[in-house]
Chains A and B, each alone.
Chain A
């Protein structure tokens, strides 16, 4: 029982950690996009408004991957262990 619990909790934590690897990408991507936007605005200062709007929407979309990863990680840390432990306990109880 303890071993099974340990494996469940360990795997949940490991899964959450692996999911958060996806959180690295959006930061780098957003950084590159904003750097390019800075360059674009330096070349054409009159296009600042449209560049800001496009930039904002682009960043929001780029960030989604990180948010999905965060949501999965949160669910794996806070929600999944309770459900899995309940399943384990009911399975052992049925045996």
Chain B
């Protein structure tokens, strides 16, 4: 098996950390609204792992595609994107079919990595500004 690139690992850990923070925030919002129960927690866990896993798989694809020629890299990314969307859909389907899981709590964490990446951009800007 190919070794995972250091950059990919670093970014994945960063995204996972942010997903954890946002998940706690989401649980807090549900608690405040008085709609919290265990199904929300299970849904959140499933969704968070799926979102983080999706980002990690994206990283692995980018890592492997960068070593290929242009056309193959292009096709690889397209295929990977389609398969990852399908994977997320299957995760949502599990959330729908299993009664102990709330589907909305599964779906919301899918957006967390995007927020993490946006915040990452601000962190980099801050670091650059300081240096």
Contacts and interface: CB of A to CB of B under 8 A. Distances in A.
Using C-beta atoms within 8 Å of the partner chain, give the interface range for chain B.
Answer: 35 or more
A24 B88 CA distance: 15
Contacts of B63: 52
B126 interface: no
Interface string A33-61: 11101110100000011011101110111
Majority secondary structure, B binding face? helix
A75 B70 CA distance: 36
Majority secondary structure, A binding face? helix
Contacts of A49: 7
28 contacts: A23-B82, A27-B77, A27-B82, A31-B78, A34-B74, A34-B76, A35-B70, A35-B73, A35-B74, A38-B65, A38-B68, A38-B70, A39-B70, A56-B8, A57-B11, A59-B62, A59-B77, A60-B117, A61-B118, A63-B58, A67-B88, A67-B110, A70-B85, A70-B89, A70-B92, A71-B110, A74-B92, A78-B103
Interface of B: 5, 7-8, 11, 15, 55, 58-59, 62-63, 65-66, 68-71, 73-78, 81-82, 85, 88-89, 92, 96, 103-104, 107, 110-111, 113-114, 117-118, 120-121
